[in-house]
Structure 1
Amino acid sequence: MNNGSAIARLTGVFTVCLLLLGYNVYGGLFKSAGGGIAAADTLSLSSAAESTATAEKTESLGESTPESTAENASSAESMAEEQSVPTAASGTVKGKIISNYISPYKAASSYGNIYLKNSSGLNIDLKQLAESPLKFKIEKSEAPQVLIMHTHTTETYMTENTDYYTDAFSSRTRDKAKNMVSIGDIVAAKLNAAGIKTLHDATEHDYPQYTGSYTRAAKTINGYLKKYPSIKVVLDLHRDAVSSGESDKVKLVTEINGKKAAQVMLVMGSQSGKTTNFPNWQENLKLAVKLQQTLETKFPTLARPISLTSSNYNESLTTGSLLIEFGTDANTLEEAQYSADMVGQALAELMNALT
C-alpha cells in the first residue's frame, strides 16, 4: 500500500465519521424539536378538552366570602416562574371558558311556563301561586313604584368573547359602566319608559368589604322604603359565578332572535330550615312565578328554573322582592346587557298588568 492510498483511505474514513456525527447531532436536534411540538400539541388538545359544568353557584348569596378569582400576578412574573403556561396578549391564561345552557324544561317542578328548582324542602303548589293575585297594585303616577339596587354592586363580566381567561381578569370592578349598575340602568330605563316610576340605587354594598354586604343593603332598602312608602317592588340585581373543575369558568348562554344572551335566574328565599321571620315569602314567590311565566312566554330559554332556597336575601323587607341573576362572570357584558333589556321588557309588561 503506498502513502497516497493510505491517505485517501484515512480521508474517507474521517469523512464518514463526520457524516455520522452530523447525523446524530442534527438528528438529535430534530428529535428535540419534534418532542417540543408534540408537547405543545398535547397541551393544546388538553386545554381544548371540555368537562361537564356543575352549574352550581360558587358564590353564596348569604354572608360569606366571594367566589375565588384569578390571582393577580403580572404576565412577566408568571412567565419567569412557569414557562410552560400559555400566554395571551392580556396576561397568563388561567383556565378555559366553557359555554353551557341550563334547560328550564328539565326542572323537577313545573306548571305551564313556570319551572322551579326547589331546595327549600317545602311543598310548593305552582298552579296556586300562578293563579293567585298579588296583594299590591302598581300605580301609574310620579310616586316611585319600583326600587332597583345591588347587594353585590361590583360584580362584573368579561369584556371580550374568548374561550379562556387570564390573570388580568377580575370578577369585580368599581366601573359603573361595566358592573351591575350598567345592568340596573337598562332595566330601570325600560320600566320608566313604560310609565312605571323606578328608582335605581348604585350604592356599593360590597366595597371596600364584601362581608356584611347584605346588612348594608338592608339599610339602603329600608331607607328608600321610609322615604318612598309608595315602593311596591324591590329588585336586587346580581350576576352568578359557575365553575367547572379547579380553574375553568362556565358562561350560561342562550340564543334569542339570533343573538347570544346570558341566561337569567330568579333566586327566591323562604321561611324554612334555619330561616325565620319571613312570613310573607310566598308573596314574593308569587311575583317570581308571574315574572318567570312572562319571561318564558316572551323570550323562551332566557330564564333558568327559579331557585327556591332556605334563605332570606333581604326579601322579607317587602312582599314584592326579587333577586335576579344575570349570567355568570364568564359571560360578556354585552350578553348580560342584552338580557337586561329583555328582562326590562318582561317586567314592564308584568307591572302594567298589575295596575
Structure 2
Amino acid sequence: MVKVKVIEMKRYYRWIGVFITCMMCILACGMLILDTKEMIVKANGVRNGQNFVQAHEKENIKDDLFIQMLNKTIPALEVNYKKENGYSQDKTFVKMVLGKLMNFDYEDPKTLFKAQISMLKEADDDLAEMDDYMLLKDQENNIAKNHDINNSLEEIENNEIVKKTKEVQELAVASRKAKVESTPKKNTKQIPIVSSPVNMPNKVELNMNKPVIFIYHTHATESYMPESIGNFHSLKRRFTVRAVGDKLTSYLVRKGYKVIHNDTLHDYPSYQQSYVRALETLKSNMDKNPSLKIIFDIHRDAAPNNNTARENSYVVINGQKVARYSIVVGTKNKNTEKLLTFAKYIKAKSDELYPGLAKKTITKPYRFNQFNSDYYALIEIGNTANNIDEAIRTTKYLAEILDRVINDIKK
C-alpha cells in the first residue's frame, strides 16, 4: 500500500516539473519578443512626443539588440551596457557580487568574453600597452619638436655653457697658432727626441789590440732596390747586406776597432736552417778569437704593404735620405733581459744623436743565436722600399752611434 502511494507521488511531481519548465520557456520567449519590439519601437518611434531617429542612432540599435539578446540568453548575468540614449538598468546587489567574483563588468559586455577566454584578455592588455607606448612616443616627439622651435639662435648664444666652451676653444686655437709661429721649421722627416730613462748595460772588458766586434749575416743574400729579383734575394754582393756590412766594418775600423766581417752565405743554396749554419760560423770564429765580445747580425727588413711604406723607410740627414733601422731581440734566450738592455741603450743613443733614425725595438719568441753574447744585436738596416745607397748611408751614422755605446760600456 505504501509503495503504491510513493509511485503516485513521483508521477505527480514529475508532471509539476514538466509544467513549470513549459511555463518558463513560454515566459522567456514572450519577454524576448516583447523587449525586441520595445527596442524597435524606441528606434523608430517617438520619445516624449519628439522624433529622435538619427543616422548615428541606427548603429546603436544593432548594439542594443545584441546586448538584449545576451541579457535573455544568460539571465543570471543580465549583461547591461549603459547608453545615454539607449537601454539601461540599475545595478543590483546580486550583479555586484557576481561581478566581483567573476571579474566581470556589467557595463562592458566585452569583459564577459575576457572572463571566459583568457587569450582575449592578454591580447587586449598587449594592445593597451602598445597604445601607452605610442602615446609616450608622441609626447616625446612633441616635446623635442617644441624644444627645437623654442630654442632660438639667440638663446643658444646666450647660454653660459656655450659661452665658456667657445672661450676655451678660442684660447686653444690662439695657443696653437703661437706655438707654430714660435717653432722653427724642421725637416718633415726628422722626429723629435722623446727622452726616457734607460738602463746602461753592464761594463765589458775589451782588448782593443785584438778583434772585439764580429759582423756577419744569417741571410747574406737579402738585397735592396734596384735588385728586386728572387723576392729581394741576390748573389750580387753590391746590392745586398754584405755590401752594407763591408761599409759598417770600414767605418768602425776608422774609429779604432778591430772587426771581423764574415760574408758566408748561410741562406744559399737553401734558405732553411740558415740560423743553424750561421751558428756554426759564429761558434767557429768565437773559438778562434776569444776577444770577440760584441756581435752584430746585419739583416734587411721587408717593407709593409701600405701606402706609407716608402715614406716611413727613411729619414733625411744632412739633406740625404738615410734608411731607418731597427733592432730585433729574441725572447727565448736566457739572457733576454741583458739583450734588451743593450738594444734599448743603442736606440736611446741613436735618438739622442739622430732622432727618427732608429725604429722601435722588436721582440720575437725566438733565439736568433743571441745567447752567445750579452752584447748581441740583430740589426735590420732598411727594407725592400729602400735602395742600396740609402742603406749604405745608414752605416756611417750607425757606426757613430755604436762607437758612443761601446765607449760607454767598456772597462
Bin of the TM-score, shorter chain as denominator length: 0.5 to 0.7
Whether 1:218 and 2:276 are equivalent positions in the alignment is: no
Letter in 2 for 1:112: S
Equivalent residues in 2 for 1:42-53, closer than 5 Å: none
CA contact (8 A) 2:222 2:241 kept: yes
CA distance in 1, matches of 2:402, 2:220: 21
Residue identity over aligned pairs, in percent, reads: 29
Q: Shift of the alpha carbon at 1:330?
A: 1.9
Equivalent residues in 2 for 1:83-102, closer than 5 Å: none
CA distance in 2, matches of 1:333, 1:235: 19
Whether 1:290 and 2:345 are equivalent positions in the alignment is: yes
Letter in 2 for 1:137: E
CA distance in 2, matches of 1:102, 1:288: 21
Q: Shift of the alpha carbon at 1:199?
A: 0.6
Whether 1:148 and 2:231 are equivalent positions in the alignment is: no
CA contact (8 A) 1:196 1:351 kept: no
CA contact (8 A) 1:147 1:234 kept: yes
CA contact (8 A) 2:211 2:259 kept: yes
Aligned to 1:348: 403
* C-alpha RMSD of the superposition: 2.5
Q: Shift of the alpha carbon at 1:249?
A: 9.4
> Do the aligned partners of residues 196 and 354 (structure 1) sit closer, same or farther apart at CA in structure 2, a change above 3 Å counting?
farther
CA distance in 1, matches of 2:383, 2:190: 12
How does the TM-score come out when normalised to structure 2?
Answer: 0.50
CA contact (8 A) 1:242 1:249 kept: no
Aligned to 2:80: none
CA contact (8 A) 1:134 1:286 kept: no
Q: Which has the higher strand share?
A: 1
Provide, for residues 160-181 of structure 1, a one-character-per-residue CA deviation record: whole Å limited to 9, x for no partner. 9xxxx8xx67501111121111
Letter in 2 for 1:138: L
Q: Shift of the alpha carbon at 1:204?
A: 0.4
- Say which structure, 1 or 2, has more relative contact order (CA 8 Å, 6+ apart): 1
Provide, for residues 194-217 of structure 1, a one-character-per-residue CA deviation record: whole Å limited to 9, x for no partner. 111111000001100111101111
Q: Shift of the alpha carbon at 1:234?
A: 0.7
- Say which SS state the counterpart of residue 222 (structure 2) adopts: coil
Aligned to 1:209: 270
Aligned to 2:206: 138
- Say which SS state the counterpart of residue 303 (structure 1) adopts: coil
Q: Shift of the alpha carbon at 1:103?
A: 6.7
Aligned to 2:323: 262
CA distance in 1, matches of 2:200, 2:322: 31
CA contact (8 A) 1:269 1:310 kept: yes
CA contact (8 A) 1:190 1:348 kept: no
Provide, for residues 11-37 of structure 1, a one-character-per-residue CA deviation record: whole Å limited to 9, x for no partner. xxxxxxxxxxxxxxxxxxxxxxxxxxx
Q: Shift of the alpha carbon at 1:190?
A: 1.4
CA distance in 2, matches of 1:192, 1:132: 24
Q: Shift of the alpha carbon at 1:254?
A: 1.4
Structure 1 residue ranges without an equivalent (≥5): 1-99, 106-110, 114-126
Equivalent residues in 2 for 1:1-355, closer than 5 Å: 112=195, 127=197, 130-141=198-209, 143-159=210-226, 170-244=231-305, 250-251=309-310, 252-270=313-331, 275=332, 278-355=333-410
Q: Shift of the alpha carbon at 1:341?
A: 1.5
CA distance in 2, matches of 1:322, 1:104: 24
CA distance in 1, matches of 2:190, 2:302: 14
Task: Report which of the two structures shows the higher radius of gyration computed on alpha carbons.
Answer: 2
Provide, for residues 314-354 of structure 1, a one-character-per-residue CA deviation record: whole Å limited to 9, x for no partner. 11111111000111112110111111221112112222333
CA distance in 1, matches of 2:393, 2:215: 18
CA contact (8 A) 2:191 2:355 kept: no
How does the TM-score come out when normalised to structure 1?
Answer: 0.58
> Do the aligned partners of residues 104 and 310 (structure 1) sit closer, same or farther apart at CA in structure 2, a change above 3 Å counting?
farther
CA contact (8 A) 1:148 1:234 kept: yes
> Do the aligned partners of residues 326 and 320 (structure 1) sit closer, same or farther apart at CA in structure 2, a change above 3 Å counting?
same
CA contact (8 A) 2:218 2:267 kept: yes
Q: Shift of the alpha carbon at 1:139?
A: 3.0
CA contact (8 A) 2:217 2:262 kept: yes
CA distance in 2, matches of 1:148, 1:333: 18
- Say which SS state the counterpart of residue 286 (structure 2) adopts: helix
CA contact (8 A) 1:268 1:284 kept: yes
Q: Shift of the alpha carbon at 1:260?
A: 0.6
Letter in 2 for 1:264: Y
